Structure 1
Amino acid sequence: MTAAFDILDLGLRPYREAWDVQKQHHERVVAGGKPALLLVEHPAVLTLGRKAREGENIIVTREYLAAQGIDVFEIERGGDVTYHGQGQLVAYAIFPVGRKIVDFLRLLEQATIQTLQTLGLPDARPNVGYAGVYVDGREVNGLLYDQKIASFGVAVKRHVALHGLALNVTTNLQHFELIVPCGLHQTQMTSVEREYELRGMNKTATMPEAKKAMIAAFEQVFAEYDWSIPEAVGLSRV
């Protein structure tokens, strides 16, 4: 049985280069080509979604970021500011969506949760009212912090999605201290690697294992997906 979408592993790519690849596949899918799931890691970079106000949730100067070799991009996805870096599995689902935006986001959540369950984190879950996937909260100095392990940000143009999700596997979590992730307070970023360590699990987080689990999850979750594109061409975003 032929897969409904292509899977392309882009390896480690600078953000701008991968952004261009996304746009190329988006144009192809809009024109009726086969959908694609792009898997990639980026060198350290910050991206500002449409809800971000310039610098509001970046807590260091642009000069400091430049000195650290961390670029900043303003992009068309939803959401606020987020960080990408090595050890983070980014999945760009260039899939037809039409007007089924909320359903599409729920499927992305489901695929991410299933990925994490396969990796041994059964408490992975959505957080009502917030985009992304979380694991059970953790108390720090008497305060309970949500533990966010995957972030979401999607744009839908001409009924086809761009961008997608970012799952922290072995990510350098200290880099999240440069920002207020997605503009959320009382939230800590975590990773598969960190959860293994804090839970005393005798496991090693690896990118190949995470990619394998995510591909299997996408194939299962999107097995019955409606891949058609509405005839009327419009513009919607989330």
Structure 2
Amino acid sequence: MLFFEDLGKKEYEETWKYQKKLFDEIIQKKVNNISSQKAGYFLFVEHPHVYTIGKNGKRDKHLLVSSDFLEKIDATCYQTDRGGDITYHGPGQLIGYPILNMDYFFTDIHKYLRLLEEVIIHFLWKNYGIKGERKKGKTGVWFHNHVKNGKSRKICAIGIRMSRWVTMHGFALNVNTDLRYFDYIIPCGIYDQEVTSLKKELKKNDISFQEVKLMVKKSFQEIFDVEFIPMSKKLDQ
């Protein structure tokens, strides 16, 4: 069973604590050899303006503005326990947080990252006929066609934490995101890239966020071969 919950719009710190609670719950049952039918959880959320920095991130080098400026643009910043460098989350961006017990899937972190990428690649191609691609040596999903000035365009960032084969954190897909907020950082610490959104690539005024959620859910189910159960039906097992 994989429980699904759409958290709607929620502050980053509150969501991080909630993720950690679910993450720790799975780990404790594993440590205590308590059997469970749960494969884990999958959360959707949309955050207010926030910058998050992974364990390998360099705030002094990759965050380009001061704390005072962050306050002016109504943004916060957190050092987190995920992998990767700095990224931005905000309105119009779909965040997916899979909190999975990988014993129910496979115990291979690189395969897991590639499948998270595949979820987004599958979603883009199946629903919009646009080709998302990987970038050698990097994690995430890009567009490489019609590259300007040698810069590929990143549409989805991925950063995870994994301990005892339990995952947390996940992916950030730019749908109707205000891309100006990426101007204040070196996204993921990569200098030779641009950031894009589904709205920008499709040249539309707005993309239905609810429709994107449904389509990404379907792609996740297909790529990971799982069925979702609403969190309202969660069993204590």
Q: Same fold (TM over 0.5)?
A: yes
**Alpha-carbon distance between aligned partners in 2 of 1:102 and 1:224, rounded to the nearest angstrom:** 19
Aligned position for 2:115: 107
Which of 27, 37, 47 does residue 42 from structure 2 map onto?
37
Deviation at 1:191, TM superposition (A): 0.4
1:132 matched to 2:140? The reply is: yes
**Alpha-carbon distance between aligned partners in 2 of 1:29 and 1:35, rounded to the nearest angstrom:** 7
Deviation at 1:135, TM superposition (A): 1.4
Aligned position for 2:224: 222
Which of 155, 158, 166 does residue 149 from structure 1 map onto?
155
**Alpha-carbon distance between aligned partners in 2 of 1:204 and 1:54, rounded to the nearest angstrom:** 32
Aligned position for 2:76: 71
SS of corresponding position for 1:130: coil
In structure 1, what residue type is equivalent to 2:91? Answer: Q
Answer whether contact 2:176 2:206 (CA < 8 A) is retained.
Answer: no
Aligned position for 2:92: 87
Aligned position for 1:231: none
Deviation at 1:66, TM superposition (A): 2.0
SS of corresponding position for 2:139: strand
In structure 2, what residue type is equivalent to 1:82? Answer: T
Deviation at 1:102, TM superposition (A): 0.6
Answer whether contact 2:175 2:198 (CA < 8 A) is retained.
Answer: yes
**Alpha-carbon distance between aligned partners in 1 of 2:135 and 2:102, rounded to the nearest angstrom:** 23
In structure 2, what residue type is equivalent to 1:162? Answer: M
Which of 5, 8, 16 does residue 8 from structure 1 map onto?
5
Answer whether contact 1:137 1:145 (CA < 8 A) is retained.
Answer: no
Alignment identity in percent?
31
Count of aligned residue pairs for this structure pair: 216
Deviation at 1:116, TM superposition (A): 1.4
**Alpha-carbon distance between aligned partners in 1 of 2:39 and 2:190, rounded to the nearest angstrom:** 36
Normalised by the length of structure 1, the TM-score is 0.85
Answer whether contact 1:110 1:221 (CA < 8 A) is retained.
Answer: yes
1:27 matched to 2:24? The reply is: yes
- Provide closer, same or farther for how the CA distance between residues 66 and 110 of structure 1 changes in structure 2, counting only shifts above 3 A: same
Answer whether contact 2:50 2:75 (CA < 8 A) is retained.
Answer: yes
- Provide closer, same or farther for how the CA distance between residues 59 and 111 of structure 1 changes in structure 2, counting only shifts above 3 A: same
Gaps spanning 5+ residues in structure 2: where? 30-35, 228-237
- Provide closer, same or farther for how the CA distance between residues 139 and 127 of structure 1 changes in structure 2, counting only shifts above 3 A: closer
In structure 2, what residue type is equivalent to 1:212? Answer: L
Deviation at 1:224, TM superposition (A): 7.1
- Provide closer, same or farther for how the CA distance between residues 61 and 203 of structure 1 changes in structure 2, counting only shifts above 3 A: closer
Aligned position for 2:233: none
Q: Which stretch shifts more, 92-101 or 72-81?
A: 92-101
Aligned position for 1:233: none
SS of corresponding position for 1:119: helix
Gaps spanning 5+ residues in structure 1: where? 226-238
Once superposed, what is the RMSD of the aligned Cα atoms? 1.8
Normalised by the length of structure 2, the TM-score is 0.86
Aligned position for 1:184: 190
**Alpha-carbon distance between aligned partners in 2 of 1:221 and 1:168, rounded to the nearest angstrom:** 20
Greater helix share, 1 or 2? 2
